[in-house]
A and B are shown apart, each in its own frame.
Chain A
């Protein structure tokens, strides 16, 4: 079984540019989550999809972040325009059912905004 895959693994962009991160969850996992770890801080929740619907987006920092999951399969997270404080590692995770089954994480995308 393939795990959660994320692309790219690294991205370096300049302030003001746009970046799109992609996540492919484990096949059959309806629940998809985005998390972020800023340097020196804990991993923090961004949002949760159930299939193509946003179940909880309370962790999204501001309206420069847009997440989509068209068709309920892969998801994208776009940052536009990027700011310096957006630098960090963005993790995607998926699970079969929320609460009772554990989250499986991808390796993350390390985003550096210069």
Chain B
């Protein structure tokens, strides 16, 4: 079983729609959860992180965490073509001093 699983997509949504990206993780002790956005040939860029159960909102982005279900998601509201990228879910187990476990990423395309 993989540490972190994501639907690889591709996910395609029209401009203005809500994009929903999902991630599950295997280690129940995981404590910190991160969403990175990566444009082709560029570095992964942190867009959201969440530590507690529930929702965390930042602008058009909402991260949702359900530790009981070992599930974390990212919602992008009012999607823009510039949001087209690969979104990486990463998990920090808490005992590993910042070592992250990544999913393979979900490729998102927002079409105008």
Q: Say if the beta carbon of A95 comes within 8 Å of chain B.
A: yes
**Contacts A43-B88, A99-B32, A102-B34 given; does A56 touch B43 at CB 8 Å:** no
16 pairs across A/B with beta carbons < 8 Å? A4-B43, A40-B104, A42-B102, A45-B99, A48-B99, A91-B44, A98-B97, A99-B32, A99-B98, A103-B100, A104-B46, A105-B43, A105-B44, A106-B43, A107-B41, A107-B42
Chain A residues, Cβ within 8 Å of B65: none
- Interface size counted on chain B using CB atoms at 8 A: 26
Determine if B99 and A91 form an interchain contact, defined as CB atoms under 8 angstroms apart.
Answer: no
- B46 adjacent to A42 (CB under 8 Å): no
Range class of the A interface residue count: 20 to 34
Interface centre among B41, B97, B99, B103 (most CB of A within 10 A): B99
Determine if B4 and A42 form an interchain contact, defined as CB atoms under 8 angstroms apart. Answer: yes
**A87 at the binding interface (Cβ < 8 Å):** no
Given contacts A42-B102, A48-B99, contact A99 B46 (CB under 8 A): no
Instruction: A42-B103, A43-B100 are known; give 15 further A-B pairs, CB within 8 A.
Output: A33-B99, A35-B100, A42-B105, A43-B90, A45-B101, A48-B98, A56-B99, A91-B43, A91-B44, A98-B98, A99-B32, A99-B94, A102-B46, A103-B100, A108-B43
A residues 56-101 touching B (CB-CB < 8 Å): 56, 59, 91, 95, 98-99
